[in-house]
Chains A and B, each alone.
Chain A
Amino acid sequence: MTRVLELTGITKRFGALAANEDVSLHLDRGEIVALLGENGAGKTTLMSILFGHYTADSGLVKVEGRELPPGRSRAAIQAGVGMVHQHFALAPNLTVLDNVMTGTERLWSPRSARAAGRAKLVALSERFGLRVDPDALVADLSVGECQRVEILKALYNDARILILDEPTAVLTAQEAEGLFATLRQMTAEGLSLIFISHKLHEVMSASDRVVVLRRGRVVAERRTAETSRAELAELMVGRKVERPARPPATPGKVLLEGVDLSLAGHGGASLHGVSFRLRAGETLGVIGVSGNGQTTLAGLVSGLYPPDAGELLVDGQAVRVFDVPHAIAAGIGRIPEDRNAEGTIGDMSTWENTVLERIWSPRFSRRGMVRRGAARRATEEIIRDYDVRGASVDGRIRLLSGGNMQKLILGRVLDAGPDILVAAQPSRGLDEGAIAGVHERLLEARGRGAGVLLISEDLDEVIGLSDRICAIVGGRLSPAIPADRADARMLGLMMAGDWSAAEQMERADAV
C-alpha cells in the first residue's frame, strides 16, 4: 500500500492548553480512517493544521512523500487535500457553481471559464452520484445537498485525500448511510479518506482503521475489524463513565399539553398541528434531525412567541400571554439549545447572567432597581450547589467551559423549582463526564415530580432518559412510543417519517 499522508509529531498549544501533543498518524491509499474522540479532544485542531488553517508549534505534514509548508491552505489544496467542514463553508446567496469555482482559477484572469467549470462539476457529480443543480442558490438547498456541494468542492479541486469533519452531524440515519456508501465508492476510485467523529456506531460500520484521540494525544490505534464498541468507548473517554440509569417513572397529572399547535417561521422550521401531553414525573423525549422544528417547538413552550393556531395548556389552563416572565411564573424552566448564542451573554457577569431571566421578580428587583445583594447571594449559592468550577460572581461568563456554563444554566433554572422543564439539546458539545452530570440533574428533577420535555438529536440520550419518545419530522410530531419498546431501528423509521408502527403501538396501548 502507498502511504498518501503522514503526520509526525504534531504539537499545538493555545496559551496553556495543549490542543495537540506529539500527534502522529498516517493514511494509506484507498483507506478510510476514523479519527475518534470526544469534544475538545483536539480532532478539529489537528485537521486544521493539516489543512493549513493553523500553524503547528512543531511537527511535520507529508502528502505523498512531500512536506507541506505550514499555514497555507492553498498548498494543501494543491497537494490534493480537500476538507469538508462541519459548518459548511458555503455562501447561501451564491449559486452552487459559484461556490464550487471560488478560488479555483487564476485570480487576475480577465474572464472566468464558467462553461468549462460547469462541465467539470456536472461530470464529477455524475461520476460520484452526488446530484445537485449547478445553478441553484445554496440558500435553497437542503442540508444533505449542501454537504454534497461541500464534497464536490473538494473533488473539483482534484482532491485525492478527503477530510470530513463530523460529516453526519446534520444528516438523518438514511442520509448518513447514503453518504458512507458514496465514500466507499470514492475509495474504490483511489481516494483516501479521514473522517472525524465521536459516534461509535458509524466509526464501527464505516472505517477501516480507527485512531483515538484524547486530550490532544493519540491514545490508541486499531483495525476496525479487530476492536469493539465497548473498547473504543473506554479508549475515547479514558475511564468507564456510566450515564445514570433511569429509575421507573411514576407519572402524575398532565402538566403541559399542546393541542394542534401550528406556527410559521420564527428562526427555524414551522410547526404543523403539533399535539403532545407531558405528565408530572415523566420525561417525554422528542427526537429528530436538526431543522425539523425543534427550535420552534422549544421557543414556543419557552414563551418566546405565541402559536399561530392551537393551544398550549399549563396545568389544564390555556396559556394566553406568551412571554418569558409569564412562562417562568407558570413554572416552566428553560434550558436553551445554544448555550453561547441564547443561554448566556458572554460579556456580562455571572450574576447578571444568573438573574437576568428573573430580574422582574420581587426577589431580584424593587421598583425598577436591581437588588444586587440578593442577586449576588443567589448566584453564589448556585455556583456552590451546582459545582460550577472557575466561576466568580463578578467574572464574565464567557470564560467558563461549556460544561460549567451548562451547570450554571441548570442551576439558575432548577433553583426556581420549575414544575415543567424544557431541555433543548442539554448535552450538546459536552464531554462524557459533563453529560453524565446533566443527565443526573434531569433525572433528579423528574424524580421530584417535574415533567421534563427533552428535545434532543442524540439517540442514546433520548433512549437513556425518556419514558416516552416521539419523533419530530418536518414540523409534525409522531405518536409517542414507550421507551422500553424503542430501539435505534424503530426510532430511525420514526425520524424518517414512517409512523405506522408507532401508531399501531399507540392504538394497542389505548385498548
Chain B
Amino acid sequence: MSVLFDILGAVGMWEAMLRIGTPLILGTLGVLLCERVGVLNLGIEGIMTFGAMVGWLTVFSGADLWTGMLVAGLGGAAFGLLHALLTVPLGLSQHVTGLGITLFASSFSYYVFRLAIPTSSQPPTVEPFRPADIPVLSDIPFLGQVLFSQTGPTYLALVLVVVLAWVLYRTPLGLALRMAGENPHALDAQGIDPIRLRIGAIMAGSALMGMGGAFLTLAAFNSFFPTMVQGRGWICVALVVFASWKPARALLGALLFAFFDAFQLRLQTAVEGVPYQLFLMLPYLLSIVALIVMARRARVPQALMQPYRRGER
C-alpha cells in the first residue's frame, strides 16, 4: 500500500502524466478533427512517425525547436492531403488507404532518416525542449510544478484543446465541420462544399498528428529511432471513441491513459516478480476496454466512413 502512496504522492508522477499525455492529446485531437468531418484516418501511426523524424531532422540540421515542430506539422498536413485526396474526392476505402499511408509514411521516414544519418552505433541527439516555468504560477507547491513547469508543446497542446472545442461548438465553421461528418448532403444543400471542407479538416488534423510525433523526438526523447511511435497512433484512434468525439473528453481520456502509463512505469520498478511485459500490455488492453465501454454509448458521426459524391445517396 505504501508503495502506491509513494508513487501517487510524487510530483514526478503527475508531471510525467502530462508529458506522456502530450503526444496523445495532439494525436487524439487530430483524429477527432478528421472523424468529425466523417473520415477515419488510420494514417496517424505513420504520420506521427514522419513528424517525429522530420521534426528531429530539422532541428538536428540547425533549426530551432519550434521550427522543427512547424515542419513536423507541415509534413503531417502533406500526408493528410494525400489521405484526403484518396478518400474524399475518390472515395477509396478509408481503412485500407489509412493503412497504406501509415506503411508509406513510416517506411519513407526510415528511408529519409537512413539517407541523412548513415548507421552509427550511437544515435545522434539534439538538445530537446526544456521545461519552461510560468512565472508565479509555477511557484505554487505541487500543482505549480505539475501544471506550470512543462515544455512549450505541452502548453500548446492544452491550448489547442480549448481552441478546437471553441471552433467546433461556437463558430459557423465548427457547425459546418460537424455537419460534414453528420450529413454532407445537408451541407451541400446549404451551399458549402463538403469535399473541400473535409480535405481541409483532414490536413489540419494530420498536422496535429505530425506535431504529436515531433514531441516524441524533440521533448520526450532527444533522438529518432524506427518503431518509436509504438502504437500511440492506434491508441489515439481508440481514445477518440472513448471521448465520444468531444475535445474536452479527449483531453480527459489522453490524461487518464497517460496516468496509467506513468503509473505502470513506476510500478514496474517498485513491484518485484511481475514480468514487465504485463505492465507494457496495460495501455493496449486499457484501450480495448475503453472501446468496449463506449462502443454502444458513443454518438458516432453519422457519415463516418461514408464517401460523399454529389447525386449519390
Q: Which residues of A contact B (CB under 8 A)?
A: 48, 51, 53-54, 72-74, 76-78, 83, 85, 87, 89-94, 98-99, 101-112, 153, 157
Contacts and interface: CB of A to CB of B under 8 A. Distances in A.
A119 B75 CA distance: 45
Contacts of A157: 190
A73 B310 CA distance: 12
A102 B187 contact: yes
6 contacts: A54-B311, A89-B185, A101-B172, A106-B172, A112-B172, A153-B190
A62 B192 CA distance: 22
Contacts of B313: 87
Contacts of A54: 310-311
Nearest to A94: B182
Contact of B176 (A48, A92, A103, A110): A103
B189 A85 contact: yes
B227 interface: no
Interface string B173-204: 11110110011011111111000000000000
A109 B186 contact: no
A340 to B, nearest CB: 10
B171 A94 contact: no
At the interface, is chain A mostly helix, strand, loop or mixed? loop
B173 A101 contact: no
B299 interface: yes
Interface residues of B, number: 25
Interface in B124-177: 170-176
Given A93-B299, A111-B170, A112-B170, A73 B190 contact: yes
A104 B190 contact: yes
Q: Which has the most chain B C-beta neighbours within 10 Å: A85, A87, A98, A102?
A: A102
Nearest to B179: A102
- The 9 A-B residue pairs whose C-beta atoms are closest, nearest first, are A103-B190, A74-B191, A91-B182, A89-B186, A105-B172, A91-B183, A73-B191, A89-B189, A103-B192
Q: Which has the most chain A C-beta neighbours within 10 Å: B173, B175, B178, B301?
A: B175
Nearest to A90: B186
Q: Which has the most chain B C-beta neighbours within 10 Å: A53, A74, A76, A91?
A: A91
B302 interface: yes
A110 B167 CA distance: 8
A102 B176 contact: yes
A502 to B, nearest CB: 37
A57 B179 CA distance: 30
A135 to B, nearest CB: 14
Interface of B: 170-176, 178-179, 182-183, 185-192, 299, 301-302, 310-311, 313
Nearest to B245: A93
Contact of A93 (B173, B187, B191, B302): B302
A72 B311 CA distance: 14
A83 B189 contact: yes
B171 A112 contact: yes
Given A89-B185, A91-B182, A93-B182, A109 B191 contact: no
A72 B193 CA distance: 10
Nearest to B300: A93
Contacts of A74: 191-192
B311 A48 contact: yes
A111 B188 CA distance: 22
A101 B183 CA distance: 14
Contacts of B174: 112
Given A93-B182, A102-B175, A111-B171, A77 B302 contact: no
Given A48-B311, A108-B172, 14 more contacts: A53-B188, A53-B189, A72-B191, A73-B190, A76-B191, A85-B185, A92-B182, A94-B182, A98-B178, A103-B176, A103-B191, A107-B172, A110-B171, A153-B190
A78 B310 CA distance: 20
Contact of A94 (B170, B173, B179, B188): B179
Contacts of A108: 172-173
A305 to B, nearest CB: 19
A210 to B, nearest CB: 26
A107 B180 CA distance: 13
Contacts of A87: 185, 313
Contacts of A153: 190
A103 B311 contact: no
A214 B87 CA distance: 38
A105 B170 CA distance: 12
A282 B249 CA distance: 59
Contacts of B191: 72-74, 76-78, 103
Given A53-B311, A103-B191, A89 B183 contact: yes
Contact of A77 (B182, B185, B190, B311): B190
A87 B183 CA distance: 12
A161 to B, nearest CB: 15
B192 A107 contact: yes
B172 A91 contact: no
A381 B282 CA distance: 60
A89 B313 CA distance: 11
Contacts of A102: 175-176, 179, 186-187, 190, 192
Q: Which has the most chain A C-beta neighbours within 10 Å: B179, B185, B189, B313?
A: B189
A486 B240 CA distance: 56
